[in-house]
Chain A
Amino acid sequence: MPNPQDLLFRTLADPTRRTLFERLCRDGEQTVGALTAQAGISQPAVSKHLAVLKQAGLVLGRHQGRETHYSALPGGLAPLADWTSRMTAFWQGRFDHLEDLLKRMDQ
């Protein structure tokens, strides 16, 4: 049952990703190189984390020359605070379970 909350929770459950996201919120746009210099992990690892953040709609990557500049998209957190989207996801999951149960009741 993929939903925006699950994706956000999974993305932000990782402390390194949270730190990267917080840094981009705090300090504004940064290159992968600049982020790596402070992250204490390798550049490929930073890039991998940034790709996950990007997929979750939390950061934006902008290519300039050979470098990618990342910036935060704080609006990407909205599903965490938005009650209606949380409850919609909850009920959609329950509907899935109900459908499974109805199939079993046939047997």
Chain B
Amino acid sequence: MNETPAATRSVVVEREMPHPPEKLWRALTQPHLIEEWLMKGDFKPVVGHRFDFRADWGAVDCRILAVEPNRTLSYTWSAYGLESVVTWTLTPTRTGTRLRMEQSGFRPDQQQAYHGAQAGWQRFIAALEQVLARAE
């Protein structure tokens, strides 16, 4: 991607966890554990490996970009026709691990596609937008 950082959006969620990085790494990379907190998928911590995460609301296409055991893990995340990159960073602390998730690479103009793909709500929001447009 060639966009400048200012043209993309990212989401960051960060949390201190009272567990060692090795344990978090297992939860982030072993399919039977990933399934318990994120989604079901044929995950392998191997750069270039492609897999799907599946949930009742749909699937996410992923490809592993970077693997550094107990430190960083990065994969592409394509859903609703939008591609982004999810990067996990594990930093040891005195009491455990600071876990950081950054999902980046969205351009503001993609938001509309994501928004429009929300089955069920699409029609409702369109109707509401018409109501709002008339109100102006």
Contact = CB atoms under 8 A, between A and B. Distances in A.
Nearest to B33: A101
Interface residues of B, number: 31
Ranked nearest first, the 5 interchain pairs of A and B with the lowest CB-CB distance are A97-B37, A98-B37, A91-B13, A83-B111, A87-B11
**Chain A contact residues: over half helix, strand or loop, or mixed?**
helix
Given A83-B9, A92-B13, A102 B131 contact: no
A91 B131 contact: no
Contacts of B15: 95, 99
A88 B11 contact: yes
Contact of A74 (B110, B124, B132): B132
Interface stretch (B16-24, B43-51, B66-74): B16-24
A101 B23 CA distance: 11
Contact of A101 (B37, B124, B128): B37
A77 interface: yes
A1 interface: no
Interface in A81-107: 81-84, 87-88, 91-92, 94-95, 97-102, 105-106
15 contacts: A25-B131, A25-B132, A74-B132, A77-B128, A83-B106, A83-B110, A83-B115, A87-B103, A94-B37, A95-B101, A97-B38, A98-B37, A99-B17, A102-B17, A106-B19
Contacts of A81: 111, 115, 125
A99 B17 CA distance: 7
Given A22-B128, A84-B9, A97-B37, A102 B27 contact: yes
A12 interface: yes
